[in-house]
C-alpha cells in the first residue's frame, strides 16, 4: 500500500480522484488550500486509488495520509 501525504498543513480544497481510479506518477490527486495558495499534492508513484481519507473542507496537518493506493 502506498500513501500520499499532505506536504503542509491546510484545508482540503479539491479531491481530484475517486476510489478505483488509476493514477500515474506525478499526477495531482488532491489540491489543498493553505496560506491562501493552491497546493497541489501529487502521487509519487502510480497505483490504483484504494481509499480517500478526507473530504473537501477538512483540515489536514503536514504528514497526514490523504489517499492510499494499491
Partner 1 sequence: MVAKLENQLKEKIDQIEAGGAQKYHEKNSAQNKMFVRDRLQQLFDNGEYRVEDAKFANNQAGDLPADGVVTAIGKVGGKTVCVMANDSTVKAGSWGARTVEKIIRIQETAMKLKVPMLYLVDSAGARITDQIDMFPNRRGAGKIFYNQVKMSGMVPQVCVLFGPSAAGGAYIPAFCDIVIMVDQNASMYLGSPRMAEKVIGEKVTLEEMGGARMHCSVSGCGDLLASDETEAISEARRYLSYFPGNYKKAAPVVEAAAPRAGRELEEIVPENQNVPFDMYEFIDRLIDEDSFFEMKKLFAQEIITGFGRMDGKPVGIIANQPKVKGGVLFVDSADKAARFITLCDAFSIPLLFLSDVPGFMIGTKVERAGIIRHGAKLIAAMSDVTVPKISVIVRKAYGAGLYAMAGPAFEPDCCLALPTAQIAVMGPEAAVNAVYSNKINEIEDVKERIQFVQQKQQEYKEHIDIYKLASEMIIDDIVSPSSLRSELINRYKFYENKDMVFSERKHPVYPV
Q: How many residues does the chain have?
A: 70
Pairing verdict, β 22-23 and 47-52: antiparallel
User: Closer CB to partner 1, residue 22 or residue 62?
Assistant: 62
Of 3, 5, 9, 65, the one binding partner 1 (CB under 8 A) is: 9
When asked if residue 57 is in the footprint of partner 1 (CB under 8 A), the reply is no
Of 66, 7, 68, the residue nearest 34 (C-alpha): 7
Is 65 an interacting residue with respect to partner 1 (CB under 8 A)?
no
Binding-site member from 2, 34, 50, 58 for partner 1 (CB under 8 A): 34
Amino acid at each position: 500500500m502506498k500513501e500520499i501525504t499532505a506536504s503542509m498543513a491546510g484545508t482540503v480544497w479539491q479531491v481530484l480522484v475517486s476510489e478505483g481510479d488509476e493514477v500515474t506518477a506525478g499526477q495531482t490527486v488532491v489540491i489543498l488550500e493553505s496560506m491562501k495558495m493552491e497546493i497541489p499534492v501529487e502521487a509519487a508513484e502510480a497505483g490504483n486509488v484504494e481509499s480517500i481519507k478526507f473530504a473537501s473542507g477538512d483540515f489536514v496537518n503536514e504528514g497526514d495520509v490523504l489517499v492510499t493506493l494499491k
